[in-house]
Amino acid sequence: MSELNNIALKILQKGKGILAADESTGTMTKRLDSVNVQSTPENRLLFREILFSASCMTECIGGVILYDETIKQQTSKKNLIPELILNMGSAPGIKVDTGAKILAGSPEEKITEGLDGLRERLKEYYRIGAKFTKWRGVYNISKSYPSKLSIHSNAHALARYSALVQECNMVPIVEPEVLMDGDHSAKDCFSKTSEVIKKCFEELILHKVDLKGIILKPNMILAGNKCKDKISKEEVAKLTLECLKNSVPSEVPGIAFLSGGQSELEATENLNLINKINDTSFIMSFSYGRALQQSALKFWSKDTKNIEGTQKIFNHRAKMNTLAAQGKWSKDLEN
């Protein structure tokens, strides 16, 4: 087995998943503003350090995606953040794209940038301790979108990024996110997501990316947030599994879903139902941001010194998702 395949499997073994703590400073500021906490580098670090030193990190979290600011920060004990994460038995990762910008030729859509100078940045992150990376492509969905241009451009960027990451001995997380915003049906989401993922793998293969050494981070198949015609959670699981079976080559070791606007409970329940019917060789786990942190953040904002209470809430959410990643979660366990 390749070293990259080992890293990918270790991150997702035994129901472990990924904590997406890679919010940009702007996004983290919005999150902190929403709970009336001032967004300073110190406060951003304080909240993250509380999570990264929680006991669930050892049992439930196989990897943590960091932002450029965070990976270079020191903990209160003067260790670098990647050291803290490694000491908890988890792998430090890093978001390396520079954000989604307007796509020339289709101004309603986005293309993710960040390839310029990426090889040099990757070497630096690897030196600091990163074991894996993340790059997110975003796709609008409507009658006309995603366009062929958006599907091709984002797949090409994801493949170029992945090839550079593997060259630097890290595992790339490939994240093509078909957004939930809109009034599209689950059926539309299924067909567009299938098209997007297939194109990504075409490009990954063309760029000679070792598929055994990546993690796919897709959206689940859901109706748009403005669609009146919602489907059952069982149907979400069935369609999501069918989409991935038809679109993802069998060499890929693991799939870690994004929560993409689902509530904490929905993200856990849907993951559990997918795993109850998962008859593939893929590990199906989670790579959640808000769906792992939101309750902990709300609790922490009321008393930023209450570390134990904040960790207790985070530990619970992580444990629930680890059970869901094994198809062992039930609603009774939430109380």
* C-beta atoms surrounding 43 within 10 Å: 17
Could you give the C-alpha distances from 242 to 26, 186, 188, 245, 274, in angstroms and in order?
A: 36, 13, 14, 5, 10
Domain that holds residue 200: 3-334
Q: Out of 217, 226, 276, 331, which one is annotated catalytic?
A: 217
Tens of pLDDT, residue by residue, the chain (335 residues): 599 999 999 999 999 999 999 999 999 999 999 999 899 989 999 999 999 999 999 999 999 999 999 999 999 899 999 999 999 999 999 999 999 999 999 999 999 999 999 999 999 999 999 999 999 999 999 999 999 999 999 999 999 999 999 999 999 999 999 999 999 999 999 999 999 999 999 999 999 999 999 999 999 999 999 999 889 999 999 999 999 999 999 999 999 999 988 999 999 999 999 999 999 999 999 999 999 999 999 999 999 999 999 999 999 999 999 999 999 999 999 98
Place of tokens 């959670």: 233
Mind listing the pLDDT tens digit for each residue in 58-88?
Answer: 999 999 999 999 999 999 899 999 999 999 9
Q: What Rg, from alpha-carbon coordinates, does the chain have? A: 19
For residue 302, indicate whether it is catalytic: no
Element (H, E) at 30: helix 25-34
pTM of the prediction? 0.96
CATH number reported for the structural domain that contains residue 30 in this entry: 3.20.20.70
State the total domains in the chain. Answer: 1
Cβ atoms of residues 299 and 310 within 8 Å = yes
